[in-house]
Amino acid sequence: MLRYALLRLLGAIPTLLLVIVLAFLMVHAAPGGPFDAERVLPSDVAANIEAAYHIDESLARQFMRYMSGLARGDMGPSYRYRDYTVAELIGSGLPLSLQIGTLAMALALLVGVSAGSVAALKQNSMLDRIVMSFAMTGISIPVFVVAPVLVLLLAVKMHVLPAGWSGTAGAAKFVLPVVTLALPQIAYIARLTRASMIDVLGSDFIRTARAQGLGTRTLIRVHALKPAMLPVLSYMGPAIAAILTGSVVVEEVFSIPGLGQFFVRGALNRDYTLVLGIVIFYATLIISLNLVVDILYATIDPRVRRR
């Protein structure tokens, strides 16, 4: 297992380096500059600002300087939030983004696995068709459409939940963002669980367990659920990535002061160091989570390690 984990880790390092290079080049290829929105400055003042932030250096030298700082954990200063470094801004927004993402993922797993299992047990029934219809609807509608619709129905029309984050106390302000992020993943997980559970329920060992007189609940909990969760587990990496990237839109819609809002405002304000730092942080987090999923998959199914 240790050898397998080390091989997966070594394979993740080139991917992360490629993401860093591409993100750096794309950020610097964007038109304009971080101080273009300022009032017109004298040429000597503008030159001093560019020298202070090393913008006047060649692209190769800027990249080497950035990689040197990144190796020490320094992502550089923010161009717009003048009193903060990029690492400090990420540290301030990360806990809230992780909290919302964790709640959304937990809700998606709970509802998705339950709905998929019920649909598999009631295959081709009306309940199965209803569950799969809702799943297809959830897959088809993106989060930037779901969020305003939920706000319109539950906050504006029915006045059940708060429409925004600011000025709201208690756990009610988590409901709409978490549900918005979780809905597409509930749909995907429900479909995966249904297909996998149907396949497992048709296996020989399940028929043997039925012949021994085991009840349906025991059969599902003890024998069928674990092998049926393998496709869901392998999907966890992309699912977490989708929740993290989807939070960029959701946090802006609900005015949540997390990483997503920093990312959007950094892009609008041409705060290139902040945008680059958040992209690299997201990439590192997603690659790490995929690595953890691969190791868990190999733990559950030893055939993966042998291959």
- For the chain, what is the mean pLDDT? 81
pLDDT of residue 32: 65
Query: Which CATH superfamily does the domain covering 99-258 fall into?
Result: MetI-like (1.10.3720.10)
| Residue 293 pLDDT exceeds 80 | no
pLDDT of residue 110: 92
What does the alpha-carbon distance between residue 18 and residue 25 come to, in Å, rounded to a whole number? Answer: 11
pLDDT of residue 111: 92
Q: Which of 9-13, 88-92, 95-99, 113-117 has the lowest mean pLDDT?
A: 9-13
Alpha helices (H) along 72-142: 86-121, 126-140
Instruction: Provide the sign of the torsion angle of the four alpha carbons 102, 93, 15, 27, taken in this order.
Output: positive
- What separation in angstroms does the CA of 77 have from each of 36, 84, 164? 17, 6, 30
pLDDT of residue 44: 64
**Sole residue written with tokens 């942080």:** 281
Q: Where do the domains of the chain lie?
A: 99-258
- 85 pairs with which residues across the strands? 77
What does the alpha-carbon distance between residue 265 and residue 167 come to, in Å, rounded to a whole number? Answer: 21
Pair 219, 210: CB distance under 8 Å: yes
The pLDDT tens digits for 72-83 are 888 888 887 878
Please enumerate in sequence order all residues whose Cβ is within 8 A of that of 183, keeping only pairs 6 or more positions apart, or say none: 138, 141, 143, 146
The pLDDT tens digits for 43-62 are 665 666 666 666 767 788 88
Q: What is the mean pLDDT of residues 247-266?
A: 82
pLDDT of residue 36: 62
| Residue 158 pLDDT exceeds 80 | yes
Q: What is the mean pLDDT of residues 17-34?
A: 81
| Residue 34 pLDDT exceeds 70 | no
Identify the band that residue 304 occupies on the pLDDT scale cut at 50, 70 and 90. low
Percent of the chain with pLDDT over 70: 85
Amino acid at 205: F
The pLDDT tens digits for 173-189 are 888 889 988 888 898 99
Pair 224, 205: CB distance under 8 Å: no
For the record, the structure tokens of 252 come out as 């802006």
pLDDT of residue 33: 63
What does the alpha-carbon distance between residue 287 and residue 12 come to, in Å, rounded to a whole number? Answer: 7
pLDDT of residue 107: 92
pLDDT of residue 233: 80
Residue 19's Cβ-side half-sphere holds a number of Cα atoms within 13 Å equal to: 17
Amino acid at 225: L
pTM: 0.77
What does the alpha-carbon distance between residue 215 and residue 217 come to, in Å, rounded to a whole number? Answer: 6
Pair 172, 161: CB distance under 8 Å: yes
The pLDDT tens digits for 122-132 are 888 888 888 88
pLDDT of residue 80: 79
| Residue 18 pLDDT exceeds 80 | yes
Percent of the chain with pLDDT over 90: 3
